[in-house]
Structure 1
Amino acid sequence: MRKLILLATLLISQITIAHAEFSIPGYELVHTVPVETALATPDLREPLQVWSEMFDSAKTEIVLGQFYVASKPGAAFENVINRLAAAGARGVKIRFLMEEKGKSLSDTGTIERLKQIPHLEFRFLDYSKLTGNGIIHAKYMVVDGDTAYVGSQNFDWRSFEHIHETGLRITDHDVVAQIHAIFEQDWQAQELIAQGKKVAALNQHSVAAHDQSAAFLIASPNAYNPDGIGDSEAEIVKLLAEAKSEVRIQLLDYAPLSYGPNHTRPYYAVIDNAIRAALTRGVKVKLMVSNWNTEKPAIHYLKSLSLLPGMEIKIVTLPKAASGFIPFARVIHSKTMSIDGQIAWIGTSNWSGGYLDNSRNMEIVLRNQAMAKRIADLHQQTWDSSYAQAIDMMKDYPKPVKGQE
């Protein structure tokens, strides 16, 4: 009888594990469901658990590249920072690289708290010193050189509770090594810039990705990608050119525009042209963006794109939190794509100029049917929800409320 009970317990534990994690060899899909919504992903673990486990497992080194940092007392994210601090306290070497421009979005108390962690070195890098107007927009970490995380989640308490986010925990040795190489490249770039020295470009021409592999990393900007890492901008165009029947895309925002001097928005047609070419071939494209994307002039380009045969666009508006307005939250922020149910793209970049050409971003491409289907299903859940509404050609969309009510 005792053996039967033990066997039943083991089976139940295995079932629990199976329903708490969705993964393929080398990659676990990780997701944040905004609280107080009807969305649910019980088969996907949350970054609160995954990040904490990664920090707890660290033995020698943790490196992090982040856009900005923010926490607050009582937030669930506090546990993540406590786990990082515990790693530093037991002697793990930690290097934290943050975008200089991210200071305006950051909580100064969180920055100072991180700086006080034993064995942690904190640096700011102004990425525009490399590319003219870029930023560190990638959100990633590597632990002990054998596990990495890449995704849309910022080092921000809101990303763990009030924002729709998607990322990957990675144990694929080759990809982890490449992510670590990107960190080392940018860490060394910061050293050179701090010394008043120039950072030499690594690539003069677009580097092709190993895009027939089952899994591969792409990154931007191409000029500062370490050896063997393909160009994100060029690869998105190639992936869209592969599409035969359907492409599903989820983004914070999309616009065939870049960011120029004096608040100008120069035309940036790279991705827009690729989408239009796919539509011309008869591919159906379902693009889902956040309500932050309704700013002018971006909304005009979305309306124009939505007129094309085969193109559907929905705008997602999440309800305000019960506690009241939360700045820079209650929004979909995931950056994902599924092509023909065969290819998954999961990354850190928005689809407009400045991100895939001049800023540090990175994406994982997986030629895996199971992952592509899970990304498509994740897209479908929000697409079918009451939060997603088809773009209205006749509507004069109000300016979205982001940082202040």
Structure 2
Amino acid sequence: SGPQGERILAELLRLPGRGVAVRVAVSAPSAKAPLDDLRALERSGAAVRAVDLPRLTGGVLHTKFWLVDGAHLYIGSANMDWRSLTQVKELGAAIYNCSCLAKDLGKIFEAYWALGVPDASIPAPWPDNYSTAFNAETPLQLALNDTAAAVYFSPRLHVPLPQVARRRRRQPHALRRAGGGYRRRGHSGGDGPLRGVTVPSRPQRLFLVPVSAAQARIPFARVNHNKYMVTEKAAYVGTSNWSGDYFERTAGSALVVAQPGAGAGTFREQLQDVFERDWGSQYSVDIGDAERWGSRCGPR
């Protein structure tokens, strides 16, 4: 399962030799997340900084995005890990030839880069060069796939999951359908938060990724790792797990696209199609049946 990731790493190792500047901001290393590949990048000429988010916020650097040549970008759920290419169900957005969005996302990267120096501290307030004119109130107006869109990047989703549960109970028609992944050995929160927003006639389903005995030995694999949301008018693709602590202490980012106009192939409609495909999949089950169906997907 590793060749795809190995090819990407090999290409990155060659870039500094061709005069391409490579910078990587990552979480501080740990026994579970050593930096062997990044050390190889450093030896090739890349610049690497480890951001000590556990010390700064009590969280981790959970953002996953790429910026290329000041014009192209990727943001999504996939970790920079070979398993994300072959053993984990991921979702992300790639945007090409859009320097305005790349520059805006670059400000988030520069913030991480600044926090990657020894003994860094979070400035209060942040200097003006890290600020952006684009947000939920004043999004960037542009065309995506030839359709008008209002776009901005969010360092974190504005409403943590516990607040979603509270709002859900006050606004019973706001949430139509919810889908998520499932692991028998997972986050301590389990599916409790999702169950907390369950109401009659509002179905919720879990996506159970099948796994063989050999695949079960691969750590942190064979899961639905997507982090996205789609509404009638907007689409959200993020990097944060749907757990309250990820929106309180952990550094994540998200692409938010408001695209109310109809048109085949709009970003919102593409995301809607992904949701509908997975909702009707043979691996998608009602949340109440997760334990019963989980046994059919092999050991977790």
Structure 1 residues 322, 371: closer, same or farther in 2, change over 3 A?
farther
- Residue 9 of structure 2 corresponds to residue 113 of structure 1: no
**SS at 1:364 equivalent:** strand
- Residue 279 of structure 2 corresponds to residue 388 of structure 1: no
Preserved contact between residue 168 and residue 197 of structure 2 (Cα < 8 Å):
no
Preserved contact between residue 283 and residue 310 of structure 1 (Cα < 8 Å):
no
Q: Per-residue deviation at 1:182?
A: 1.1
* Residue 121 of structure 2, aligned match among 182, 190, 198: 198
Q: Aligned equivalents of 1:113 and 1:302: distance in 2? A: 41
The answer for the alignment partner of 2:197 in structure 1 is 305
- Residue 81 of structure 2 corresponds to residue 156 of structure 1: yes
- Residue 297 of structure 2 corresponds to residue 362 of structure 1: no
Amino acid at match of 2:190: A
**SS at 2:90 equivalent:** strand
Count of aligned pairs between the two proteins:
275
**RMSD value, Cα:** 3.0
Structure 1 residues 393, 371: closer, same or farther in 2, change over 3 A?
same
* Residue 157 of structure 2, aligned match among 208, 222, 233: 233
Structure 1 residues 105, 217: closer, same or farther in 2, change over 3 A?
farther
Residues 54-74 of structure 1: per-residue CA shift (max 9 Å, x gap): xxxxxxxxxxxxxxxxxx8x5
**SS at 1:392 equivalent:** helix
The answer for the alignment partner of 2:226 in structure 1 is 334
Q: Per-residue deviation at 1:275?
A: 3.4
Q: Per-residue deviation at 1:367?
A: 1.7
- Residue 19 of structure 2 corresponds to residue 94 of structure 1: no
Structure 1 residues 129, 217: closer, same or farther in 2, change over 3 A?
farther
Amino acid at match of 1:136: L
Question: Percent of counterpart pairs with the same letter?
Answer: 24
Q: Identify unmatched segments of 5+ residues in structure 1.
A: 1-71, 221-231, 238-255, 257-268
Q: Per-residue deviation at 1:208?
A: 5.5
The answer for the alignment partner of 1:320 in structure 2 is 211
Preserved contact between residue 316 and residue 388 of structure 1 (Cα < 8 Å):
yes
Which is bigger in relative contact order (C-alpha 8 A, separation at least 6)?
A: 2
Structure 1 residues 134, 304: closer, same or farther in 2, change over 3 A?
closer
**SS at 2:197 equivalent:** helix
Q: Per-residue deviation at 1:162?
A: 1.4
The answer for the alignment partner of 1:251 in structure 2 is none
The 5-angstrom pairing of residues 44-193 of structure 1 reads: 74-100=2-28, 103-106=30-33, 108-117=35-44, 119-131=45-57, 133-170=58-95, 171-191=97-117
Preserved contact between residue 84 and residue 90 of structure 2 (Cα < 8 Å):
yes
Q: Per-residue deviation at 1:364?
A: 0.9
Pick the structure with greater CA Rg.
1
Residues 237-281 of structure 1: per-residue CA shift (max 9 Å, x gap): 8xxxxxxxxxxxxxxxxxx5xxxxxxxxxxxx2222233344x2x
Amino acid at match of 2:14: A
**SS at 1:138 equivalent:** coil
Structure 1 residues 126, 277: closer, same or farther in 2, change over 3 A?
same
Residues 96-127 of structure 1: per-residue CA shift (max 9 Å, x gap): 111015x344355323322222x201221111
Q: Identify unmatched segments of 5+ residues in structure 2.
A: 127-133, 142-148
Preserved contact between residue 50 and residue 116 of structure 2 (Cα < 8 Å):
yes
- Residue 144 of structure 2 corresponds to residue 219 of structure 1: no
- Residue 270 of structure 2 corresponds to residue 374 of structure 1: yes
